[in-house]
Amino acid sequence: MDKMQSRRTMLGDVAKLSAALAMRSPLAAFFAPARAAVIPSGRPIPSERSESRDLRPASRDLHFADPDHERLDKWTKTLRAEGLAPVPRDPLGRAAVRVGELARGTPYEAYTLEAYLRAGGDPTSTEPLTLSLTRFDCVSLVESCLAVARASRMVSDMGEWDLFANEVERMRYRGGKRGSYASRLHYFSEWISDGTKRGLLQDIAPSLGAEDDTRPLRFMTEHRKSYTALADDRVFEQIATMERGLDGQPRHVIPTAHIASVADRIQTGDVLGFATSIPGLDVTHSAFAYRDPNGVLRVLHAPLSGGAVEVSHYELPDYVAAIKRSTGILLARPL
């Protein structure tokens, strides 16, 4: 994220991090554009692995060395060899976290999804599908690990990369349908609720003593200048309509002080959203719950502070308690 921020403190400056999860595009003006990538056709596109499948040929027809494809192939084979792929009755979270383990050390990179906008792309047109297994932000790590886990369990004539891409797309966009910038699930709490409605997740926080957060979400429209896409009045109105539509849909937050008492009911691979009291915002970070070999509950994530995918040194309750303005966690179980 912002180069002026420390990358070695536990969580860095949470006030600046806060927007990162809400939409992957906040404060984009403070970040240098991502490097240009080249799709197999030779046509450059302005982001790291930012791919529109209207432009890209089917992955099964590609014959070239590519670190993202190599990782997908290797990770999928690992899941299958370890018996985590062919058994649908096994918790999906276990397979997703195994992918996260394989991704440890992968660099953190913020706002790759907004690169097409910084390059002059149209936020009212269909958004390019940005994919990467060689760099992550906190949300794309969660999406990618789940997508690899799901794709590894499928038998299809489609190539593995296309299966992976489909899984990312149906998690990232409202109703699983990729449209314009406004179709993306910018608030992580809606990412959870939308996935729950479609059977991708189970919101388990209510069964663990969660409290309702009924504050209206207005962070994006109240920080319009921080979002390149919102300079377009049509997009601004679409986002405002989306925010109003979330009114009356409370977030289920397990209070920070209550996490330790329910920790034994949190499984490795459960998806975490770190709730905040920052006005208009739901969460500041996302991650997986992770039980280490000794059964200690930690956090597997792509943090701003560490600069790479890692497992936290802190146990989950202590990690959450250390976050400035934290109010607790949202908790969802992948299905």
Give residues with Cβ within 8 angstroms of 81, minimum separation 6: none
Nearest to 227 by CA among 14, 11, 1, 31: 31
Instruction: Tell me the average pLDDT across 306-332.
Output: 96
Answer yes or no: are the C-beta atoms of 289 and 320 closer than 8 Å. Answer: no
Interior angle at CA 305, CA 300 and CA 310, nearest 5: 25
Residue 21, in any domain of the structure:
yes
pLDDT digits (tens, 9 = 90+) for 231-284: 999 999 999 999 999 999 999 999 999 999 999 999 999 999 999 999 999 999
Residue 47, in any domain of the structure:
yes
Give residues with Cβ within 8 angstroms of 89, minimum separation 6: none
Residue 5, in any domain of the structure:
no
> What is the C-alpha to C-alpha distance for residues 335 and 118, in angstroms, rounded to an integer?
35
Q: Which residue, chain included where needed, has tokens 């302005």?
A: 46
Give residues with Cβ within 8 angstroms of 15, minimum separation 6: 278, 324, 325
- Burial of 22 from C-beta contacts in 10 A (0-12 / 13-18 / 19+): buried
Q: Which residue, chain included where needed, has tokens 């006030």?
A: 15
pLDDT of residue 304: 82
CATH number assigned to the domain comprising residue 62: 1.10.3670.10
> What is the C-alpha to C-alpha distance for residues 288 and 93, in angstroms, rounded to an integer?
8
pLDDT of residue 36: 29
What are the φ/ψ torsions at residue 232 (nearest 5 degrees)? -80, 120
Residue 6, in any domain of the structure:
no
> What is the C-alpha to C-alpha distance for residues 282 and 189, in angstroms, rounded to an integer?
7
Is 53's pLDDT higher than 90?
no
Answer yes or no: are the C-beta atoms of 72 and 165 closer than 8 Å. Answer: no
Give residues with Cβ within 8 angstroms of 170, minimum separation 6: 176, 198, 200
Number of residues that this document lists for the chain: 335
Question: What single DSSP character describes residue 297?
Answer: E
Q: Which domain holds residue 266?
A: 14-334
Residue 1, in any domain of the structure:
no
Residue 52, in any domain of the structure:
yes
Instruction: Tell me the average pLDDT across 31-56.
Output: 32
> What is the C-alpha to C-alpha distance for residues 164 and 271, in angstroms, rounded to an integer?
19
Residue 112, in any domain of the structure:
yes
Q: Which residue, chain included where needed, has tokens 């791919």?
A: 51
Count, in order, helices (H) and strands (E) of the chain: 11, 12
Residue 158, in any domain of the structure:
yes
Q: How confident is the model at residue 155 (pLDDT cuts 50, 70, 90)?
A: confident
Is 165's pLDDT higher than 90?
yes
Residue 177 to residues 51, 153, 236, Cα–Cα distance (Å): 16, 22, 20
What are 201's two structure tokens? 């997740």
Number of structural domains the chain divides into: 1
pLDDT of residue 305: 77
Mean pLDDT of the chain: 84
Is 303's pLDDT higher than 70?
yes
Identify residue 167 by its one-letter amino acid code.
E
Is 227's pLDDT higher than 80?
yes
> What is the C-alpha to C-alpha distance for residues 252 and 2, in angstroms, rounded to an integer?
30
Give residues with Cβ within 8 angstroms of 293, minimum separation 6: none
